Amino acid sequence: MAHAAGGYNLTFRRLSLRPGAAIIALVTALGAVPALAEAPPDSFISRSSPAGNYLAARLATAERDTPAAASYYRALVRTFPRSGEILERAFLAVLAEGEIDEAVDYAQRIVRIDPEHSLARLVLGVKAIKGKQYVTARSNLRRSGQGAIAELNSTLLSAWSQFGSGNPRAGVAAIDELQGPEWYAGFKDFHAGLLLDASGARKEAGPRLEAALKIDSRTLRVVDAYGRWASRSGNKKLAIETYEAFDRQVPNDPLVEQQLAQLRAGKTLAPLITTPAAGAAEVLYGLGAALGRQGGEDLALIYLQLGHWLDPSHPLIEITLADLYESLKRHNEAIALYRSVPSDSPFKVNAEVQLGLNLDAAGDFAGARQTLEGVVAKNPKDQRALMALGDVLRSNEKYADAAEVYTKAIDQLQAPTGSNWMLYYFRGTAYERTKQWAKSEADLKKALELRPDQPHVLNYLGYSWIDQGVHLDEGMEMIRKAVSLRPDDGYFIDSLGWAYYRVGRYEDSVRELERAVELKPNETVINDHLGDAYWKVGRKLEARFKWNHARDLKPDAAELQEIELKLAVGLEEAERRKSDKPEIQKTEVDPSAATQKAEAPKTPPETAPAKPDGGG
């Protein structure tokens, strides 16, 4: 369920064996490790000392660079095959990397040292389910840890192994006997219903699936399971109503659209789960998706990798894994997974949109643009694809092209609502950057009409007015309101401080810009602004210090030119020369920077189709 990860407190049992004292001493003395960008070549690792490999592996783990961590730990296992900690760390790294066959080998070695190692037992239990060794699976799962997550996971997986043993009612009974937190209820009803449905007990399955749906009607897998059940129970009207209710809450989900089309064509939908392996994968997917939403990314990654290994055909695991990689800023892994989504998947368009966004995040603007333009060409009315293309163009300073794309999206709106504010806001910023202020102002006002208290719009429009010397009181009030809504946002506070500067209130400017620098100490523009404000109030030594710091933060060429000029001749002379040579004058602070840096939303959160979530 969407709330299920709350209160999770699972800590896998660690091996007590420690690496040799010689390794610890060498690591302590080591002064540097190789830079980590991808898995290092074997030739490099073989030339490195054990201490170097150990320190590099720990650093890679801390940075969630699992390919590199796995490579270094493999080398250390070869050097120290009896070190329990090295063995365990290698196991965790290859498991997170999705090398499950290799992880199984490590798990078998670990339980010979520590028979109660919970995660190793879980992996061996999952392996046994895949191999249809259901008694062995339950034997391992009983020892797969304690705690809310581990106990729920173990019970649900064991229940599916009972289904494999031909005794699904024993599985349902075990689920019902499980006691735990309140959020267990949705998972219990969902999997009990799936088990009963898969075993042919359709009448009993319905109430359990309906109970899960009542607990969380926004969970796609629960909705799909109940809709499928209803379609096979002689009640296609109920099935259609189930999907339509979800569509009202989460519009335009591609799977829901597909299911509704089939039902309206008179077709019956197959059960969601039919095999023990698929049921076990569903358990791991549901828990992994919930954990990923609640900040438990490391365990979520392991569960999702195990689920994918169990059932590679699961329609959502790859997409959820890719989304998790994206949130961890591991864009290359996300790209590979989005590309692997089958062409006949209802989520293919969503995957291609995310592929484009991740290509851009990985520095491949040309590839991102080509991908997203291809999606838009095939789906010209897809608002999410249009927004994604516009955002990529805008973030790469193709403002005129971005405005054209946003216009295509806006022209499709029959009656704009509050959820459409971002389209007008981003088109307005694009117009402003192409010096079409009348169009920009109209769009910003429209965005504010649709969402009156939206801090980004208040900040952008208010600052733009002050920068132009118009509507000064109203503009200042807008910026103050934006700051009150986002009091810890250094970019918004910078806008307020710079607005005070522009109207000559230099003491107020210093006060606000000092606050902004405390929140964002490594932002070039904010330090540069504070230097200017210090100069205006006579604190010239501090002004030069801030300009020097801004210069050291590697600003772009235009900013660097202006900062160096101020350092050389002072603020007044620099301003005089700027007025004489307008071609070197830098653009004043872009109020949209607050959006781009603080949030950088890829799509309007209110209008984008929800990403698939965990069932139960």
Q: What is the DSSP string of 93-151?
A: HHHHTT-HHHHHHHHHHHHHH-TT-HHHHHHHHHHHHHTT-HHHHHHHHTTS--SHHHH
pLDDT digits (tens, 9 = 90+) for 162-206: 999 999 999 999 999 999 999 999 999 999 999 999 999 999 999
Tell me how far apart the alpha carbons of residues 562 and 554 are, in angstroms, rounded to a whole number: 13
pLDDT digits (tens, 9 = 90+) for 477-489: 999 999 999 999 9
| pLDDT value at residue 372 | 98
| pLDDT beyond 70 at 309 | yes
pLDDT band with cut points at 50, 70 and 90 for residue 276: very high
Identify whether the C-beta of residue 531 lies closer than 8 Å to the C-beta of residue 546.
Answer: yes
Written as six digits, the tokens of 194 are 């799936």
Written as six digits, the tokens of 240 are 């259609």
| pLDDT value at residue 182 | 94
pLDDT digits (tens, 9 = 90+) for 341-377: 999 999 999 999 999 999 999 999 999 999 999 999 9
Please provide the distance, in angstroms rounded to a whole number, between the alpha carbons at the two ends of the chain: 5
Q: Dmax of the chain from CA atoms?
A: 87
Least confident of 57-71, 192-206, 300-314: 57-71
Identify whether the C-beta of residue 116 lies closer than 8 Å to the C-beta of residue 143.
Answer: yes
Tell me how far apart the alpha carbons of residues 475 and 107 are, in angstroms, rounded to a whole number: 63
DSSP letter string over 252-266? T-HHHHHHHHHHHTT
Q: Strand, coil or helix: what is 204?
A: helix
pLDDT digits (tens, 9 = 90+) for 548-595: 999 999 999 999 999 999 999 999 999 998 887 644 333 334 444 433
Q: Strand, coil or helix: what is 528?
A: helix
Tell me how far apart the alpha carbons of residues 336 and 239 are, in angstroms, rounded to a whole number: 35
* pLDDT > 70 in the chain, percent: 86
| pLDDT value at residue 38 | 52
| pLDDT value at residue 581 | 61
Residue reference for tokens 């205006």: 536
Identify whether the C-beta of residue 253 lies closer than 8 Å to the C-beta of residue 610.
Answer: yes
pLDDT digits (tens, 9 = 90+) for 85-139: 889 998 998 999 999 999 999 999 999 999 999 999 999 999 999 999 999 999 9
With b for 16 or more beta-carbon neighbours within 10 A and e for fewer, the 197-215 pattern comes to: bbbebeebbbebbbbbbeb
Amino acid at 8: Y
With b for 16 or more beta-carbon neighbours within 10 A and e for fewer, the 596-607 pattern comes to: bebeeebbbeeb
Residue reference for tokens 């969503």: 350
| pLDDT value at residue 491 | 95
| pLDDT value at residue 295 | 87
